[in-house]
Structure formats: C-alpha cells, structure tokens
Amino acid sequence: MSSQKIALITGASRGLGAAMAETLATDHHIIAVAKTTGALEELDDSIQAAGGQATLAPMDITNPDAMAQLCRSIFDRWGRLDLWVHTAAHAAPLAPTPHLDTKDLAKSIATNVQATAQLIHMVEPLLNLSENGRAVFFDDPRAGEKFFGCYGASKAAQIALVKSWQAETANIGPKVYILTPSPMPTAIRARFYPGEDRTPLSSTKAQATQLLAQIK
C-alpha cells in the first residue's frame, strides 16, 4: 500500500475543484474526475509544474458503471482513499418555478442528488480503509430564493443526504465535512449573475486554502 496520501476530486476541471486539486497536490496524489478532457490536461500540467502528480479520469459522475470501475481501480492501485472532495454540480438556468424545464430538473437531480448518493456508496469503503478518511462537500444555500427552484432544490437535497451520512458516521468515520465557500468568480456564478462586477469576489485559490484549513 502506498504511503502517499490519495485525494479524489470530483468536478476537478475548473473553479473550486481545480483549485482544490492544485492546493492538495503539494502533499497528495490527485485523482481528478471531470467530463472535460482538455481542462483536466491543463490541470495536470499545472500540478506537474508545481512538482505534484495526478491521475486523470475523464468521466461523467452520473455514469455509475464508470464510477464503480474508477473506485475499483483506486482500490487495486492504492488500497484506500484518504480524502474525497466533491465539487461537481449541475447549475440549471434560472427560471420561474412554473416554467422549470423538465430536462434541466432531471439533470440537476441526476447530478446533484443521485450521483452523490451513488458516490457515497462507492467511496465510503475506500475512505474506511484509510486511517483518517475524510469527505468534503460544499453547500450553496439557494433553496427558496426566487428563480433558483431547480438548482436550489437539488442542492438542498444533496446537502440533506450528506448531513444524514455525516450524522451516521460521526463516531465511526469517515469524517464528513460540509463547508460553505465565499462567493467566487466561477462559471456557475457567472451563469447566475451575468455582468456582475467580479472584483470583490474571493479567488478560488484563496477559498481552497481557507476551506482546506477547516478539515485539518
């Protein structure tokens, strides 16, 4: 079994996920999961330039067969997982509740809720093989805000699911964290607030450093 710490980042190609991967790569081998191969390769270049190492997994987290194969490969290669950082999310366009697009709602639930549940099922055994297995999720409390029905409802469901897992594992592990980042200049935020002055927003790199300090 490798002595190097192993971190799985789901949603690693951009935004907070990429910043988390780059920050953790100083003392973890990064397993970076995202759908966009080009963005993952750019992340890998950045990690390697800083002296770190990454394994790229260009996969869709809503594909349970692909995720099961990945988790099996993690077990076969490293025998455990020390940290899981889940930043992947689908941000549906803002819309009045009576006009929600059924495809957007279905994709939001598939990505933000169903995939999270499936990954918890698959990743927990790997975290339990670590001496200090930890999982990190990120809240974005939009539930009940106008026009955020699709995203807000699916994120709220995701966090409710994670809170149950957090309570269930409080005494036995793995340790489950739910963190709330400050507003950042991400693609998701740009979709919600087009034309916003991004100057006051906290950089994803700064947020990654601050948030990771909360789990040590």
| Domain with 12 in it | 5-213
CB 165 within 8 A of CB 172: no
Q: What is the CATH number of the domain that holds 104?
A: 3.40.50.720
Question: Torsion angle, CA of 76/67/155/36, rounded to 10 degrees?
Answer: 110
> Which tokens in the block code for residue 8?
């799985």
Give the model confidence (pLDDT) of 63-118 as tens digits.
Answer: 999 999 999 999 999 999 999 999 999 999 999 999 999 999 999 999 999 999 99
Instruction: Check residue 1 and give its pLDDT.
Output: 53
Instruction: Check residue 52 and give its pLDDT.
Output: 97
* Pairwise CA distance, residues 104 & 45, whole Å: 33
CA distances from residue 95 to 88, 92, 148, 187 in whole angstroms, order as listed:
21, 9, 7, 18
Average of per-residue pLDDT values in the chain = 96
* Pairwise CA distance, residues 112 & 29, whole Å: 25
Instruction: Check residue 3 and give its pLDDT.
Output: 79
Largest CA-CA distance found in the chain, in angstroms, rounded: 53
The side-by-side arrangement of strands in the sheet containing 83-86 is 54-58, 28-34, 5-10, 83-86, 134-138, 175-179
User: Can you point out the beta strands (E) in 21-170?
Assistant: 28-34, 54-58, 83-86, 134-138
* Pairwise CA distance, residues 85 & 205, whole Å: 15
How many domains does the chain contain in total? 1
H or E element that contains 178 = strand 175-179
Integer distance in angstroms from the first to the last C-alpha of the chain? 23
